Amino acid sequence: MPMMTRDVLLEMELEEDDEEDGDIGNVPASKRPLMAPPTLPSSLALENLEQTIVSGFGSLESQQDFRTPEFEEFNGKPDSLYFNDGQRRIDFVLVYEDESRKETNKKGSNEKQRRKRQAYESNLICDGLQLEATRSLVDDKLVFVKVHAPWEVLCTYAEIMHIKLPLKPNDLKTRSSAFDNFNWFTKLLQVDESIIKPEQEFFTAPFEKNRMNDFYIQDRDTFFNPATRSRIVYFILSRIMYQVRDNVKKFGINKLVSSGIYKAAFPLHDCNFSSPSEDLSCPNERYLLYREWAHPRSIYKKQPLDLIRKYYGEKIGIYFAWLGYYTQMLLLAAIVGVACFLYGYFTQNNCTWSKEVCDPDIGGQIIMCPQCDKECPFWSLNVTCESSKKLCIFDSFGTLVFAVFMGVWVTLFLEFWKRRQAELEYEWDTVELQQEEQARPEYEARCTHVVINEITQEEERVPFTTWGKCIRVTLCASAVFFWILLIIASVIGIIVYRLSVFVIFSVNLRKISNGTDPIQKYVTPQMATSITASLISFIIIMILNTIYEKVAIMITNFELPRTQTDYENSLTMKMFLFQFVNYYSSCFYIAFFKGKFVGYPGDPVYWLGKYRNEECDPGGCLFELTTQLIIIMGGKAIWNNIQEVLLPWVMNVFGRCHTVSGAEKIIPRWEQDYHLQPMGKLGLFYEYLEMIIQFGFVTLFVASFPLAPLLALVNNILEIRVDAWKLTTQYRRMVPEKAQDIGAWQPIMQGIAILAVVTNAMIIAFTSDMIPRLVYYWSFSIPPYGDHPDYTMEGYINISLSIFNTADFKSRVKESPYAGSKYDTCRYRDFRYPPGHQQEYKHNIYYWHVIAAKLAFIIVMEHIIYSVKFFISYAIPDVSKSTKSKIKREKYLTQKLLHENHLKDMTKNIGVIAEKMIGAAVENSLRPKSD
């Protein structure tokens, strides 16, 4: 096939589908973006293109036909990370299917794809990259294009991307830790330094080619580590054009992969995870990570964060650092939560009001009113005996103590994490990262409008005008609001289900039990309704998650954020808002709405004008809220592990089913990695989202379930190792990315922490029965309201249940079947005057005492906890004094080093110039003067 120049390749007229005409890269050539995709470098002349292709391109299709034998044959080294010459390192791999060997009738479409790929690969060569092609040993239709970035390309783009590189070794002394005295214990938890050696620390500065001599370059092959090399090559691949049609430019490897022109694009793992490489030059970091991080035997050890960061990049490193720190802090919360739970468990036998419920002479004699209009029967209070016993475990004084503790704990966690994050910023050299971030290619492609920058007063290109931005924001906000309304509609559907099936369970459970079966003892209508509704709610939540994930991505793409950080932050807020409503709405309903607006038997309140509102058990809805939390938290953990562990493993098994037995020993590293699963750019986003939702359950509703931190702790210990196992064994290596912090998740956690104080205070006040019991104990158990001479809880059940005259059913409820009941009166959960009183069925004085106590409790608890939170936030600085000193010291030494080197160069140049001037002056003085 004849050689094609770059101009010919870019001016090819290609027919396309309507769908491709809507490509995000459609930008007229006359309106080039601010950061246009790189074109032919000035240092590489077009006349040298053919020589470059021959030397670096191997036998790719822009040079020769693939059916010719000039393809580079595999050299038989399965762990090799180099081209066949053994010199040039493979920095990236592109995979595609050879159209000439496809069994398809779409010849026109295949030709288009081939020509686009041909143009793209030629432009890669024009930009200085070197390529080499190798056929698959398993499937001859697959072609692997290996990409290598030479030294000049790495230096050029390191300067463009403002990548910080070593200047000199760090000579600052690390301070001794207070835990050094416990070295014998902490050494058991640390990674063995003889296996994973500590990384040498350097002072760094943004790379500049004209100051190359100032940088610590001992070996050009190792100056740019593999992660940095892959990041630079990916930056280039994302900005190289592959087509120009009608003055419209299209570019980027992401679009080529999504359109099927390439099957995959990824950097290589450095070896097999289960055994070290036979190549002595290979660092075997993947094997070390699997052995000391992902293997189950290392579950008790600390994470090798520096090696994680070195191998996978700062973005993944900061996630595991945050997850590990969160898990460590959960240990304290879990210990206190278990202590509060045990306190409630061992004191449940002293629960006087539960004893009264279970007492046949008290609870057995109290007849409760029907909880629906026609089908529900009268029922005895002691049928709730078992649930009242369980409620005593969770609704105790320990719950109040734990809720206050968690309000303080969450503040301590967030403040100490900020300090830890600041330390990582210094250690991982991301303090000034925001200066390095580049615009997304999708954003650059839309920059068609010229505006004046208010700061620089220079022209710059933006994707849309101010009005256009306002319209987009309005449309996005409307779309988010609309989908949230759909979530609320699904919650209303669950509520209608609860109201409908409660009647069915009330009738059928009692028919089945006949009053003697154990079913009646352990399964009440309320419990059966709650469990089934929680299961259905969980299923709906999982279905809606899948839908809203795609919706949030579509809305964010339409919004078009400038940088990748902006994109992820915007998507984070939308997804969390969807998930917040989706996961927590049912819990908020049970905690703050169920049983709160029910009226009384003679005048019930109806939902949607048809369904009678649900009532709580006589002990309140706290136990039902606990049940809901257990089902959602447990089900979510199980479902996520199935998705994260089982699904990738099964997919990889099917992906390798084409290989013969033992093929892993002979096929090269790039082909082994191809059969792994792609992580995806949003893979880490979902890991964060999963943990933040769990964080919400642990903090927002912890007053109803003190064992939630323990469940979260166990889950997270496994989560760390499961995520590590996935990354090292089941997924391709991700493109390393820089990250300064955890992004938008930090303010989200701070918002949850503030909201958690309110929700837990309101759960204790309105969902549990603690405040009414305290009011009775301190005020209504003794004269003048009570008959007991001393403070006691005896008689609480009697005062907490109001009396209703069954004869009033006839006058107050039309066509009521209960008017002719054999019972003269029945009881219901409320604080109202009895029949015959001058304020019949009105709220009594006890009710107003309870309301006042609840409001006072909320105000006092919130103010106390918020005051403590404010004091802690003020007392604990976000950056420790030692870290501030290190940052200032490094900045000073870095500037001094660069300044001194610059002065030396200037002095040397001045000396040379002075010598030349003196020599010229002497020469002129010796020259004879003319008349």
SS3 labels along 468-504: HHHHHHHHHHHHHHHHHHHHHHHHHHHHHHHHHHHHH
What six digits make up the tokens of 644? 């994260």
Give 279's contacts (C-beta < 8 A, 6+ positions apart): 77, 79, 80, 81, 271
Give 761's contacts (C-beta < 8 A, 6+ positions apart): 403, 857, 858, 861, 862
What's the rounded mean pLDDT across residues 182-189?
63
Find, among 423, 339, 353, the residue nearest to 385 by Cα.
Answer: 353
- Cβ proximity of 617 and 390 under 8 Å: no
- Cβ proximity of 228 and 312 under 8 Å: no
pLDDT, one tens digit per residue, over 281-330 is 788 899 999 999 998 888 888 899 999 999 999 999 999 999 999 999 99
Sequence length of the chain is 931
- pLDDT confidence of residue 376: 79
User: Percentage of the chain surpassing pLDDT 90?
Assistant: 24
β-pair type (603-604, 241-245): unpaired
Helices 314-346 and 305-312 sit at what angle, rounded to 10 degrees?
Answer: 140
- Cβ proximity of 133 and 144 under 8 Å: yes
Confidence label for 1 from pLDDT (cuts 50, 70 and 90): very low
Helix (H, G, I), strand (E, B), or coil: what is residue 169? strand
- pLDDT confidence of residue 66: 32
| pTM for the structure as a whole | 0.82
pLDDT, one tens digit per residue, over 465-486 is 777 778 888 888 888 888 888 8
Q: Please indicate whether residue 664 or residue 841 has the higher confidence score (pLDDT).
A: 841
Query: In this predicted structure, which of 417-431, 502-516, 550-564, 739-753 has the lowest mean pLDDT?
Result: 502-516
Q: What does residue 827 show for φ and ψ, rounded to 5 degrees?
A: -115, 155
- pLDDT confidence of residue 724: 92
- pLDDT confidence of residue 509: 63
- pLDDT confidence of residue 339: 94
Average model confidence (pLDDT) across the chain: 79
Listed in order, strand segments (DSSP E) in 582-693 are 599-600, 603-604, 606-607, 611-612
- Counting Cα atoms < 13 Å in the Cβ hemisphere of 287 gives 13
Chain centroid, CA 641 distance in Å: 15
Handedness of CA 166, 170, 176, 182 (dihedral sign): positive
Separation of alpha carbons 905 and 886, rounded Å:
28
The arrangement of strands across the sheet holding 248-251 comes to 27-28, 248-251, 241-245
pLDDT, one tens digit per residue, over 89-128 is 999 999 998 877 665 555 667 788 888 888 899 999 999 9
Give residue 369's identity as a one-letter amino acid code: C
- pLDDT confidence of residue 262: 92
Confidence label for 868 from pLDDT (cuts 50, 70 and 90): very high
Q: Rounded to whole angstroms, what are the CA distances from 778 to 91, 150, 186, 484, 785?
A: 74, 81, 50, 45, 11
Find, among 810, 138, 759, the residue nearest to 403 by Cα.
Answer: 759
Separation of alpha carbons 25 and 127, rounded Å:
19
Q: Report angle CA 174, 176, 178 to the nearest 5 degrees.
A: 145
Annotate 277-303 with b (16+ C-beta within 10 A) or e (fewer): bebeebbbbbbbbbbbbbbeebeeeeb
Q: Is the pLDDT of residue 881 over 80?
A: yes
Confidence label for 4 from pLDDT (cuts 50, 70 and 90): very low
Tokens 């002990």 -> residue: 619
Give 268's contacts (C-beta < 8 A, 6+ positions apart): 81, 90, 93, 669, 670, 673, 733
- pLDDT confidence of residue 95: 94
Q: Is the pLDDT of residue 660 over 50?
A: no
pLDDT, one tens digit per residue, over 147-185 is 999 999 999 999 888 888 888 787 666 554 444 444 555
pLDDT, one tens digit per residue, over 774-833 is 999 888 888 777 777 778 888 888 888 999 998 887 665 555 666 667 888 999 989 999
What's the rounded mean pLDDT across residues 676-688?
83
Q: Please indicate whether residue 494 or residue 754 has the higher confidence score (pLDDT).
A: 754
Q: What does residue 233 show for φ and ψ, rounded to 5 degrees?
A: -65, -40
- pLDDT confidence of residue 756: 93
Q: What does residue 625 show for φ and ψ, rounded to 5 degrees?
A: -65, -40
